[in-house]
Structure 1
Amino acid sequence: MQGEKIWLSPPHLGGSELKYIQDAFDTNWISQYGSNIDAFEKTIEDYLGYDSFVTALSSGTAAIHIALRLLDVKEGDFVLCQSFTFVASANPVLYQNAIPVFIDSEASTWNMCPNALEDAIKYCLQQGKKPKAIIAVSLYGMPFMVDEITEIAKKYEIPIIEDSAEALGSKYKDRPCGTFGDLSIISFNGNKIITTSGGGILISRNQQLTDKALYLATQAKENRDYYSHSEVGYNYRMSNISAGIGRGQMEVLEDRILKRRENHSFYNEIFKNYDEIDLFAEPNDDFYSNYWLNTITIEENNYQITKEKLKKIFIENNIETRYLWKPMHLQTLFGGYKFFGNNLCGILFDKGLCLPSGTNLTDESKSKIRDLLTDIRV
């Protein structure tokens, strides 16, 4: 181990977060109510535009779960899920005792393959049940194929839950991620581009749905003079403290996006000299990625460079890296569920690696990374 650790994607505070946290203490709103929550939601609504209504929740996972409830997903229903993602995209389907059907990736964005999606829909219809939802993920900050997936969803009249957990600040055709789904979610976990220490939001274009989301997220309490409940609810509301952190983080969001994209340019300059290593990048000008994480894939080569070899080199130099997400259809938890595609996502997992991408990546850290990568053919 050498030097101070270089992390994959650590939190990066802007400095004004304490002001909003102090306000919560000064006003004694140390709870799931308070002015920070309202202001945080309004700030994000203004940032996203497109008639977005935001509900601040305890996590992105909670937001997906509430989205499934709003779409009346129940036991035995089919939900179409991207396989190449973090488990939080799919776990809420199991919370509802529904049936996840996993969809392969396509090569340009690594996100949901339209052809495999349509094959899966036809399979579900043959079983006598139309899927209740499509969960489309914008992986590593790269927008999914919005036009193609939306066209299929409209053709079969299936709502889209847009999982933009990793894609705040990303755009497709200059429209922000988080505004494409019938319902959309964003995560503010500690490793995301901005953080509330833990938290997420649910986004809709319908005030009534937003009101129902808040109702479900606060234990489904009915508006009476006593606690009255007629359906299951959850303790999913974001705290006023976390929302205060979020308010401060939103003030530096544009800077954080630029820093992540600068990191991508840094890696692009290094890997342009390596035919055997591909840096994941925007397929064309329709896509604008926040490059939340910079990722590479490594082809077979005469230098015996592998993801395992690279990871070992980084570990020895106190630098955190991580393998790409292991697809859900390859996980023990989901081994019994249907998968549609050619296992491109499995191939990506076999040869891919995530590299340090934090917005507080210093010039000294970049120099250390550059030196290590320059010597990997030795």
Structure 2
Amino acid sequence: MGGAERRYVAEAFDENWLSTIGPNLNALEAEFGRLTGLPGVALGSGTAAIHLGLRLLGVGPGDEVVTPTLTFAASTNPIRYEHATPVFMDSDRATWNLDPELLARFLADRARVNRLPKAVMVVHLFGQSADLEPILAECRRYELPLLEDAAEALGARYRDRMPGTLGDIGVFSFNGNKMITGTTGGLLVSPRQDWVDSARKWSTQARDADPLGVNNYVHTELGYNYRMSNVVAGIVRGQLEVLEERVLARRAVFDRYRRALADVPGFEPQPEAMFGHPGSRHTRWLSCFLVDEAKFGMSAVDLIRRLDAANVESRPVWRPMHTQPIYRDYECVGGAVSEDLNRRGICLPSSSSLSEDDQRFVIDAIRRLAGVA
């Protein structure tokens, strides 16, 4: 915690603003708006924000949404909430995010047969932006809306701009493991104030004004219990004040891994894509590496198991959605890159509060398992 969280939460209790209205919510939306330059609405989770974002884009039964296959299920599931169909797309190796060249070829092929999707979703994974300019160009070429899932990339930069703010809708998460946290929570932003207003209405069960003026509950649209609480907003406000400190701490954790493991054969860090611009930045939300089994001496899976036995928690890079039992029957464009990243990828302990002593324990365990003195 950064210090201010307790004060903001105490104010919520002292003033009895505990539910889904209150000063912390108003302040958080204003403060986040200054950060992004866009209006937004605070919600109960990033998943809720994706769901409302898809609904704002008019996604419905039978529609197709292009989405990365290399991602967490929470990015994909809201497509199915609206009874639409995901079309999975492979990653590029430069960013590990959605491949713009694959997207261009896919949309050109679909345009020739008059079968364009309803929307495109991009996910900025592990703290690194996707290559947004060519993705946006293809979306504009075919007049398709772009939803950016920036849940893992708050604090990142793309050519001196903030991922999550270039598309038609941006989504952020404050889940317990994110760069900053409210223990839960999310936020939807858009350059369209009317969309933000609609999302806010839907997030509180879509109650309409009572034409009789007697406070009847009147509903003409489907709504949800998706609004963030004023208490959670207080935590997020405090965390937002230390966002830059958190990013610098995560980058320092990654840099210590990179320097200490540079001489380990077959242990390669995730690249940081600069996109030809010095104003680009990977937050290193997670410190990710690729294992070359032949050079390292064991597979990434075996390394994860051996680290677990040594009391070090690690995990693979996301398992691609097209290989998940629930989604394996859906179309996937490509897939070999994401499958390779999942097979060879490992995410190491990356908390911004990870002590240097604890990190040295992790480093020593990896070096020992690699047979490097």
TM-score for both structures, normalised by structure 1:
0.93
**Are the aligned partners of 1:77 and 1:129 in contact in 2 as well (CA < 8 Å)?**
no
1:16 corresponds to which of 4, 29, 37: 4
Pairing 1:341–2:331 present? no
Q: Secondary structure at the match of 1:305?
A: coil
2:368 corresponds to which of 348, 352, 375: 375
Q: Which position in structure 1 is the counterpart of 2:312?
A: 319
Q: Which position in structure 2 is the counterpart of 1:227?
A: 217
**What letter is aligned with 1:86?**
F
Q: Secondary structure at the match of 2:148?
A: strand
Q: Secondary structure at the match of 2:196?
A: helix
Q: Which position in structure 2 is the counterpart of 1:3?
A: none
Q: Which position in structure 2 is the counterpart of 1:9?
A: none
2:83 corresponds to which of 97, 105, 108: 97
How many residues in Structure 1 have an aligned counterpart in Structure 2?
364
Rounded to whole Å, the distance in 1 between the matches of 2:261 and 2:151 is 27
**Are the aligned partners of 1:119 and 1:340 in contact in 2 as well (CA < 8 Å)?**
no
Q: Which position in structure 2 is the counterpart of 1:5?
A: none
Q: Secondary structure at the match of 2:218?
A: coil
**Are the aligned partners of 1:103 and 1:120 in contact in 2 as well (CA < 8 Å)?**
no
1:270 corresponds to which of 254, 260, 263: 260
Q: Secondary structure at the match of 2:330?
A: coil
**Are the aligned partners of 2:250 and 2:285 in contact in 1 as well (CA < 8 Å)?**
yes
Rounded to whole Å, the distance in 1 between the matches of 2:296 and 2:75 is 37
Q: Which position in structure 2 is the counterpart of 1:245?
A: 235
Q: Secondary structure at the match of 2:88?
A: strand
Q: CA deviation at 1:110?
A: 0.5
**Are the aligned partners of 1:78 and 1:129 in contact in 2 as well (CA < 8 Å)?**
no
Rounded to whole Å, the distance in 2 between the matches of 1:300 and 1:313 is 14
Q: Secondary structure at the match of 2:293?
A: coil
**Are the aligned partners of 2:319 and 2:339 in contact in 1 as well (CA < 8 Å)?**
yes
Q: Which position in structure 2 is the counterpart of 1:366?
A: 359
Pairing 1:152–2:138 present? yes
Q: Which position in structure 1 is the counterpart of 2:246?
A: 256
Relative contact order higher in (CA < 8 Å, ≥ 6 apart): 1
Rounded to whole Å, the distance in 1 between the matches of 2:151 and 2:112 is 32
Q: CA deviation at 1:181?
A: 1.3
Q: CA deviation at 1:282?
A: 0.8
Q: Which position in structure 2 is the counterpart of 1:120?
A: 106
Alpha-carbon displacement from aligned partner over 1:348-369 (angstroms, at most 9, x marks no partner): 1111110000000002102212
Q: Secondary structure at the match of 1:268?
A: helix
Rounded to whole Å, the distance in 2 between the matches of 1:56 and 1:198 is 11
**Are the aligned partners of 2:44 and 2:227 in contact in 1 as well (CA < 8 Å)?**
yes
Alpha-carbon displacement from aligned partner over 1:306-336 (angstroms, at most 9, x marks no partner): 2123212321232211111000111111111
Rounded to whole Å, the distance in 2 between the matches of 1:83 and 1:312 is 25
**What letter is aligned with 1:46?**
R
Q: CA deviation at 1:20?
A: 0.8
Q: Alignment identity in percent?
A: 39
Pairing 1:217–2:210 present? no
Q: Secondary structure at the match of 2:207?
A: coil
**What letter is aligned with 2:367?**
T
Rounded to whole Å, the distance in 2 between the matches of 1:306 and 1:131 is 38
Rounded to whole Å, the distance in 1 between the matches of 2:52 and 2:337 is 30
Rounded to whole Å, the distance in 2 between the matches of 1:374 and 1:94 is 43
**Are the aligned partners of 1:85 and 1:327 in contact in 2 as well (CA < 8 Å)?**
yes
Pairing 1:36–2:24 present? yes
**What letter is aligned with 2:15?**
T
Rounded to whole Å, the distance in 2 between the matches of 1:76 and 1:121 is 18
**Are the aligned partners of 1:271 and 1:279 in contact in 2 as well (CA < 8 Å)?**
no
Rounded to whole Å, the distance in 2 between the matches of 1:344 and 1:42 is 40
Q: CA deviation at 1:123?
A: 4.9
Matches within 5 A, 1:74-113: 74-113=60-99
Pairing 1:310–2:335 present? no
Q: Which position in structure 2 is the counterpart of 1:46?
A: 34
Q: CA deviation at 1:303?
A: 4.6
Q: Secondary structure at the match of 1:313?
A: helix
Q: CA deviation at 1:374?
A: 2.2
**Are the aligned partners of 1:221 and 1:229 in contact in 2 as well (CA < 8 Å)?**
yes
Alpha-carbon displacement from aligned partner over 1:136-173 (angstroms, at most 9, x marks no partner): 01100110011111111111111100010000000001
**Are the aligned partners of 1:160 and 1:181 in contact in 2 as well (CA < 8 Å)?**
yes
Rounded to whole Å, the distance in 1 between the matches of 2:54 and 2:358 is 42
Q: Which position in structure 2 is the counterpart of 1:6?
A: none
Q: Secondary structure at the match of 1:376?
A: helix
Q: Secondary structure at the match of 1:192?
A: coil
**Are the aligned partners of 1:261 and 1:290 in contact in 2 as well (CA < 8 Å)?**
yes
Q: Secondary structure at the match of 1:288?
A: coil
**Are the aligned partners of 2:89 and 2:335 in contact in 1 as well (CA < 8 Å)?**
no
Q: Which runs of 5+ in 2 are unaligned?
A: none
2:344 corresponds to which of 330, 348, 351: 351
Rounded to whole Å, the distance in 2 between the matches of 1:219 and 1:377 is 55
Q: Secondary structure at the match of 2:249?
A: helix
CA-based RMSD: 1.4
Rounded to whole Å, the distance in 1 between the matches of 2:330 and 2:58 is 21
Mean alpha-carbon deviation: is it higher for 90-99 or for 286-295? 286-295
Rounded to whole Å, the distance in 2 between the matches of 1:314 and 1:100 is 35
Q: CA deviation at 1:277?
A: 1.3
Alpha-carbon displacement from aligned partner over 1:233-265 (angstroms, at most 9, x marks no partner): 111000011001001111111100100110111
Rounded to whole Å, the distance in 1 between the matches of 2:176 and 2:292 is 32
